[in-house]
Every structure is written in structure tokens, then in C-alpha cells.
Amino acid sequence: MAYLPIENHGVIGDLHSCALVGIDGTIDWCCLPYFDSPSVFCSILDEKKGGSFAISATDAVARKQMYLPDSNILLTRSFAKHGLGQVEDFMPIIPRLNRTKHIHQIVRIVSCIRGEIEYTLECTPAFNYARNKHKLQRKGSNVLFETEGGFGYGLVSPIALSPKKSKLGDGVSVTFTLREGERLAFVFFSYRANEDNPLEMLGDPLRHRDDTHNYWQRWIARCNYHGRWSEMVYRSALTLKMLTFEPTGAIIASPTMCLPEEIGGGRNWDYRYTWVRDASFTLYALMRIGYTEEAGAFMNWLEQRCQEVDTNSDHPLRLMYGIHGEHALDEIELPHLEGYRGSSPVRVGNGAYDQLQLDIYGEWMD
């Protein structure tokens, strides 16, 4: 698998984390269950070691990505010699009332719009930035990936999957053909390791699709901008909303880490945290178009950071924090990953957390 241009990706999210989906149908970046969790798929940072989840048309001659109008449900269409196929990707938005049962999911609905089309699915996770080994456990046509840490992972499939050898542990693959009107739904998910029956808690993926579509449409309907640039404003607002961490109100700078400022360069940083400066710009944009709830949640998060201030510290207020309010974001390098198109080093954490930048006090007051 070659590295896709960064711009040839769409992003999906559930207000807890995000995933990047390439125009070829490959998820090459995802951290679950949270934005700052260790990666599950990171082939965007190492095409050989990083792991990915691909559902790709085997004989596509052209591809196109778009979002369903007024939503963050991503469509990847593949034009083949004998047909037209589509993969719908989204992460279900689970209502707050059901949060205790929240299993984080990536739903991928594959359908044939015209003629017939062949797809190949390959799911080869590489947990903890491709550092942890895992074991594959079969549950009928479904599989669970057992690895270290407090979370487990799995893949729900309506068709039988074959094992695919991988250095850190087996993945799975299958090739299938769909005819016009047919569709299959695949669900990759994370769950707390102490859950006895995670497969029974997933729900219906088609129902999740409708609920998630309705959530995003209701949210964007509150936008008070209705000018000539509505389509671009709505898409920007929906993207900014995806960068909010609903449990705390934090707003991240980016869902990714270590994508380079220049190809082959070393200025590659982890931006999955909250910079007070960047978040203030995001809030300003959202408030201009009528979104005050996000501002209120972020202000509550800021107040908690103020309550934690150590007046004896050299930096009583930080320029950046973790999404759960962490103060120390120690930076380490991952030399086993080559970086996007050889852009190394790959870093986790961000050493800038301890810098003194006086402009942040203006952003706090603003």
C-alpha cells in the first residue's frame, strides 16, 4: 500500500475520537476509544507496520469522496468497468443517556448502486502505535482482537472472514461481489476489556446510520448563517464540531499526529490536545454562527483548569492540556515507525506543554 496524499482523505468522528478514510477506502489512522488513545490503525505513519482497515473495489477505474449533505457520514464511491459501488463510513453518535453502554464503533456499509462490483476487505490492526501484539479470536463470522490494555476490539462481519498473517498478530480478509441493490454492513468496535458480551451491545448498524444522520442534521440546522457560502460554512462547522470532546468540552487542534509540515522534514508533532489559543479561535467561529452550547462546555472545562492552578508553579496556566485536563504531556519518539513518506521522527505527546507563552492569558480572558 502506497501513501495517499493527505488531501485524499475524509474524516469521520463520534465526539470522542476520529478516523481518517482514504479515497481508496482505507482507514489508515484511528485511535480508539478517545482522540489521544494509542492508535489502532496508523499506516499513514508507516505503510508496512502501521495497520489499516481497507474496503476497496478491486477493479476501480475512478473514485470519489463526498459527505451526505449536512452530515459527517462519508461516502466513498468506486466506478468500475461493470458497476458502481459505495462505502458509507461513520462513527455512531450515542445519546448521553446510553453513555454507560457506549461501545465506540466504526460502521462501514458497502453497497452496489449499479451493475455489480467486487470488493476486498482487509483488516490488520496494529495496536499501541504498532507496538503491541494481539491474538485473534473467532466468534462465528465475527472476530475479537485480544491485546494488552484496558480495551478490547472486534470486527462484526455478515460473511465469513479468512485469517491474514501479520507480524503483530493475525488480521482478516475477504473478497466479495455485490449486485445492484445489495449491501453489507461491517462494524469495527472497541469495548472495555471487562465487558462479558460486547457483541450483544452493538445495536443495529442501519439504525445507527439513521440516528447519526439525524443528529448531524439537527445540529447543523441550528446554524444562523444562511448566506451565499452556506455549503462551505456548514462543512467547516461540522468539521470543527467533530474536534470537540463531548465528555469534558475540550477542543482538540487536530485528530492526527506527526503529519509533516514538509515531506521528509522533522517538524512532525502530536496535535491531539487542546491549545487554549487554537480552541479560542474555534469557539469564536462557532459562536459567530449561533453555537453557544459548545462555548459553555469549553468554559466549564477552562474553569476546572483554573481550579487546578498551582500558584507555586513557574507556569500556573498552561498553553495546552490533554482532553481530560492532563497537565503533563511528555513527548517520546517512536523510532520503529518511518513516518508519513519517510518524515521522521514520529512523536507521541508534545513537549510544548511546559513552554511559557504569555499570549495565552489574552485568550483565557477573551
Of 179, 199, 219, which closes a domain?
A: 199
Residue 265 resides in a domain? yes
Position 295 in a domain: yes
Q: Is residue 139 part of a domain?
A: yes
Asked if residue 310 and residue 170 are part of one domain, the reply reads no
Whether 140 and 267 map to the same domain: the answer is no
- Determine the pLDDT at residue 365: 59
What is the model's pLDDT at position 103?
85
Q: How far apart are CA 178 and CA 184, in angstroms?
A: 9
Task: Determine, yes or no, domain membership for 215.
Answer: no
Shared domain for 191 and 242, answered yes or no, is no
Q: Note the pLDDT of residue 311.
A: 64
Q: CA dist 239 to 73, 83, 153, 208, 253, Å?
A: 11, 31, 26, 20, 12
164 and 311 share a domain? Answer: no
Asked if the structure places residue 216 within a domain, the reply is: no
Give pLDDT tens digits along the chain (366 positions): 689 999 999 999 999 999 999 999 999 999 999 999 999 999 999 999 999 999 999 999 999 999 999 999 999 999 999 999 999 999 999 766 555 566 899 999 999 999 999 999 999 999 999 999 999 999 999 999 999 887 889 999 999 999 998 888 999 999 999 999 999 999 999 998 878 788 888 989 999 999 999 999 999 999 999 999 999 999 999 999 999 999 999 999 999 999 999 999 888 999 999 999 899 999 999 999 999 999 999 999 988 988 887 666 666 678 899 999 998 899 999 999 999 999 999 999 998 777 766 666 666 556
Same structural domain, 121 and 263: no
Domain that holds residue 181: 9-199
Same domain for 169 and 252, yes or no, is no
Q: Are 88 and 62 in contact (CB under 8 A)?
A: no
Would residue 284 count as lying in a domain? yes
Please state the domain count of the chain: 2
Residue 241 and residue 291 in one domain:
yes
**Residues 151, 276 share a domain:** no
Examine residue 204 and state whether it is found in any structural domain, yes or no: no
**pLDDT at residue 317, rounded to an integer:** 78
pLDDT number for residue 192: 87
CA gap 37, 61 in Å, rounded: 36
pTM given for the model: 0.94
* CATH number, position 150: 2.70.98.40
Interatomic CA distance for residues 314 and 316, integer angstroms: 6
Asked if residue 75 belongs to a domain, the reply is: yes
